[in-house]
Structure 1
Amino acid sequence: MIIYVRLLKESFGFALNALRNNKLRTLLSLLGVTVGIFSIIAVLAAVDSLDRKIKKDLSTLDKNTVYLLKFSFGPTDVPQWKREQFPNVTYEEYEYLKRSVNDVEAMAYMLFTKRENVKYEGVTVSSISVMPTTYEFENIQKLGFKEGRFFNESESNSGAPLIVLGHDVAKNLFDGLDPIGKKVRLYGQRFTVIGVLKKVGAGIFGEDDDTTVYLPVNFVRRLYGDNNETLTPSMFIKPVEGVDMDAFKGELSTKLRNFRGLKVGEIDNFFINVLSGFTDILDGLITQMNIIGWIIAGFSLLVGGFGIANIMFVSVKERTNLIGIQKSLGAKNRFILLQFLFEAIVLCVIGGIIGLILVWIIALVLTNVLDFEFVLSFWNIVLGTVLAAFIGLLAGIIPAISASKLDPVEAIRSGM
């Protein structure tokens, strides 16, 4: 065991000598390994960070949560021209389904609409996401409050002029003042602030819940009516835990078809989008990103492997005389083989460590610049190191074998 530790130490010394004595040649050869490890670990770190962000953002939602509206969140066989003729879901349909569909834990009606400006006295916050919804939305989304509350059933039904502010909206409007009870202006109307949400950061699609405000949907319906083109109605449905989703979707579809008077044979003129299907699409995209990353990195690692193999062949040639002397003094073939293998592995690991350091630096910079946490996990560090060592093993095996098979007499003679 001691001899192998000594062998590894000597190989590490030879690798460092190669770096010192032939800096440019060695660095150019290491560049391929560095770029390869950087590419694959950077992609894996980015994908892992994105996956972690998606799971964090969706952690407040049940995977069986349903979005019911005229649009599909995924691919569909229904042609676009037919989808454009689908009617919007209505508040009356929401009330009917809420009464008649079984196994519903909570059902909310909400409107997707354009961004607006919110004002308080002389301060204006621009491009704010407005979410008119019913009181049940809080029970489905599980909003976290810094202070205050969400509007209740009575306030929701009556369309009271109340508003809940995202963290950044409240911070920018009031700058340290207590916002609860203050009046803000939106849609040219005055709203009383009743709640401020905790800071949560940007969502997976770039939407920022901290710059979102919530208000009773019936206030907006009373203001603009139900046929405004800037408003896209939707139902947000959370079934009870453990429900048979196929049966639940079937009942939901049947009840809405009956309410709309659709005949047998006519297609549904609405879409039941289940969150689990959407997350499956995201998982597929993440898998594809990983595969693309491996393919890109594979070419870089291939080039890096050839570079390391070239260094090792040159190293064998330069040390032919030393190999002959070692063998004449009793060094076995496997000792010479392992010496050069270790050297190739050490060189590749050095290149891999440089690549990992670059990924770590870039992750720190991007995390500080963007509102997104890039994480270089322990397992990615281990993977990068092991992968670099494996490339070194492959790149060094042929030069090491050729070195181990040298005839000691011929090796000494050729080095003289």
Structure 2
Amino acid sequence: MLLYLRLLNESFRFAINALRNNKLRTLLSLLGVTIGIFSIIAVLAAVDSLDRKIAKDLSSLDKNTIYLMRFSFGPSEIPKWKREQFPNVKYDEYINLKRTLTNTDQVGFQLFVANETLKYDSKTVSDVNIVPSSYEMGDIDGLVFEKGRFYNEAESNSGTAVIVLGYDIADGLFGSSDPIGKNLRLYGQRFTVIGVMEKQGAGFFGDSNDTSVYLPANFLRRMYGDNDAMTPVIVLKPEKGIDMDAYKAEVSYKLRSIRGMKAGEMDNFFINVLSGFTDFIDGIIGQMNVVGWIISGFSLLVGGFGIANIMFVSVKERTNLIGIQKSLGAKNKFILFQFLFEAVILSVIGGLIGLFLVWIIALVLSKALDFEFVLGMGNVLLGTGLAALIGLISGILPAISAANLDPVEAIRTGM
């Protein structure tokens, strides 16, 4: 054990001397490893950060949540012209499904509408995401409140002019004053603020409850009716532990019955399961990982050749020293491990520089983009391990050539 510690110490000193004595050569040789480790760990850190962000954004939602509507979340085999003929889901269908579906925790109704402008006295907030919905969406979306509450069933059914504000909207209109009970204007009408949601932060998909407001869907239905400017969706939250295939079959059967569709007739609606959407996103992220590994692999290959080159030069420069060590009784494995350790240490130094650059960039981007880039310990260990592996592979041939030197010839060559 002491022998290997001494080897490690000597190899570390030789590696540091190589950095000191041949700064430019060593820097250029380590550049490939640094870029390779930087590329791989940067991609993995970005993907991990995206995964965490998606998990955080969807943590309040059940992955089995179903969005029943005329559009599909993902690619569809149904021709576009056919999909465009699908009718919107209706409020009456939401009421019917809520009454007849089994194994269902919540059924909600929501409208997708254009962004609007909110006004309070002389203050105005533009481009606000409006979420007209039934009262169940507060629980389905897992809304958390800083102040006040969500609207209740009676307010939802009657279309009462009440509104729930996102954190940024409330801050922009009311500042430090309490918005609960205050009136603001939207759609030319006066709404009473009954709740303010907790700050969420930027969402992965560019959306956020911070810049959204919730109001009863029936308020807009009473004003405008069920026109094509609003896209409705029925949101179903099934009970936990049920057979999702059987549940989707029941949903399909019930909606087809409501619409009076004949047997063999193609569904004119889509049953979008949130887990399918997240699987689609996971697939994209997985492809990003693969592409990142391929691109970074070329940098690591160049870095490996750089380490091998500097080690061959190191063997040539220390041929005389190797001959003296062997003539004094040093065994081949001592010389072998000495150069292997040196190659690994040089490579790890390059890898650590790459990791340091990732860490710096992660800090800068986290502050600049309001997005938390995380360099996890797992990625740090992976980067260090990869660097050590590259050094080990690159140093094998130079180390073997050094270990196999004849001591007499080595001393004579160095004279």
Q: Same fold (TM over 0.5)?
A: yes
Residue in 1 aligned with 2:181? 181
Give 1:318 deviation, angstroms: 0.8
- Give the whole-Å Cα distance in 2 for the aligned partners of 1:2 and 1:103: 67
Q: String of CA shifts for 1:329-371, please: whole Å, max 9, x gaps.
A: 1111111111110010000000000000011111111111112
Please give the alpha-carbon distance, in whole angstroms, between the structure 2 residues aligned to 1:228 and 1:392: 64
| C-alpha deviation, 1:130, in angstroms | 0.4
Tell which deviates more after alignment, 337-346 or 57-66.
57-66
Instruction: Read off the aligned partner of 2:4 and give its amino acid letter.
Output: Y
Indicate the residue corresponding to 2:23 in structure 1. 23
Structure 2 counterpart of 1:170, one-letter code = A
Alignment match, 2:244: 245
CA distance in 2 between counterparts of 1:267 and 1:24 reads 69
Amino acid corresponding to residue 70 of structure 1 in structure 2: R
In structure 2, the residue corresponding to 1:119 is in which secondary structure? strand
Task: Determine the structure 2 residue equivalent to 1:159.
Answer: 159
Correspondence 1:398-409 to 2 at 5 A: 398-409=397-408
Amino acid at match of 1:94: Y
Deviation digits for residues 271-309 of structure 1 (CA, Å, limit 9, x no counterpart)? 000111112212222222211111111111000000000
* Superposition pairs of residues 162-241 of structure 1, within 5 angstroms: 162-229=162-229, 231-241=230-240
CA–CA separation in structure 2 for the residues paired with 1:205 and 1:56: 12
More displaced 10-residue stretch of structure 1: 371-380 or 392-401: 371-380
> Aligned partners of 2:256, 2:6: CA distance in 1, in Å?
79
Cα distance between partner residues in 1 of 2:164 and 2:235 = 19
Alpha-carbon distance between aligned partners in 2 of 1:7 and 1:56, rounded to the nearest angstrom: 48
| SS of residue matched to 2:106 | strand
SS of the aligned residue for 1:89 comes to coil
Task: Tell me which residue corresponds to 2:113.
Answer: 113
Distance 1:46 1:309 in 2: 31
Q: In the alignment, does 2:317 pair up with 1:329?
A: no
**4+ runs of 1 displaced by more than 2 Å?**
none
Question: Structure 2: which 5+ residue stretches go unaligned?
Answer: none
- The letter of the residue matching 2:28 is L
Q: Alignment partner of 1:374: what SS?
A: coil
Residue matched to 1:146: 146
| Corresponding residue number in structure 1 for 2:345 | 346
Instruction: State the secondary structure of the residue aligned to 2:362.
Output: helix
Identity of aligned residues (%): 69
SS of the aligned residue for 2:262 comes to: coil
- What is the alpha-carbon distance in structure 1 between the residues aligned to residue 25 and residue 223 of structure 2? 73
CA shift digits 1:29-82 (9 cap, x unpaired): 101000000011111111111111111111111111100000111121111110
How far the C-alpha of 1:252 sits from its partner, in A, is: 0.8
Task: Tell me the secondary structure at the aligned position of residue 375 of structure 2.
Answer: coil
Are 1:304 and 2:294 matched, yes or no? Answer: no
**2:191 aligned counterpart, secondary structure:** strand
Q: Which residue of 1 aligns with 2:281?
A: 282
- Looking at structure 2, the residues matched to 303 and 168 of structure 1 have their Cα atoms a distance apart, in angstroms, of 49
Structure 1: give runs of 5+ residues left out of the alignment: none
**Match status 1:53 vs 2:73:** no
How many residues are paired up? 415
Counterpart for residue 378 of structure 1:
377
Partners of 1:122 and 1:228 in 2: CA distance? 33
For the residues of structure 1 that align with 2:34 and 2:290, how far apart are their CA atoms? 19
Name the residue aligned to 1:411. Answer: 410
The residue that corresponds to 2:63 in the other structure is: 63
Q: CA deviation at 1:203?
A: 1.8
Cα offset for 1:246? 1.2
1:350-369 superposed matches below 5 A:
350-369=349-368
Q: 1:142: how far off?
A: 1.5
TM-score (norm 2): 0.99
Deviation of 1:315 after TM superposition, in Å, equals 0.6
* CA distance in structure 1 between the partners assigned to 2:400 and 2:301 by the alignment: 20
Shift of 1:174: 0.7
Structure 2 distance, partners of 1:226, 1:130, is 16
Match of 2:11 in 1: 11
Q: Distance in 2 between matches of 1:276 and 1:184?
A: 37
Aligned to 1:127, the other structure's residue is in SS state strand
Give CA deviations for 1:221-269 in whole Å, capped at 9, x if unaligned: 112220132x110011101122221111111111111111211221100
Instruction: Answer with 397-406 or 182-191: which moved more.
Output: 182-191
Following the alignment from structure 1 to structure 2, what is the Cα–Cα distance between the partners of residues 251 and 217?
Answer: 26
Distance in 1 separating the partners of 2:324 and 2:192: 90
What displacement does 1:206 show? 1.2
Whole-angstrom distance in 2 between the partners of 1:71 and 1:238 = 18
CA distance in 1, matches of 2:13, 2:113: 66
**Structure 2: distance between partners of 1:159 and 1:298:** 59
Point out the more displaced range, 272-281 or 402-411.
272-281
2 CA distance for matches of 1:16 and 1:114?
63
Q: Which residue of 2 aligns with 1:82?
A: 82
Q: Which residue of 1 aligns with 2:395?
A: 396
Of the structure 1 ranges 239-248 and 37-46, higher mean CA displacement relative to structure 2 is found in 239-248
Cα distance in 2 for partners of 1:173, 1:228 equals 31
The one-letter amino acid paired with 1:160 is T
For 2:364 and 2:181, locate their aligned partners in 1 and report how far apart those are by CA, in whole Å: 40
Distance 1:94 1:15 in 2: 71
Aligned letter for 2:367?
N
Shift of 1:114: 1.2
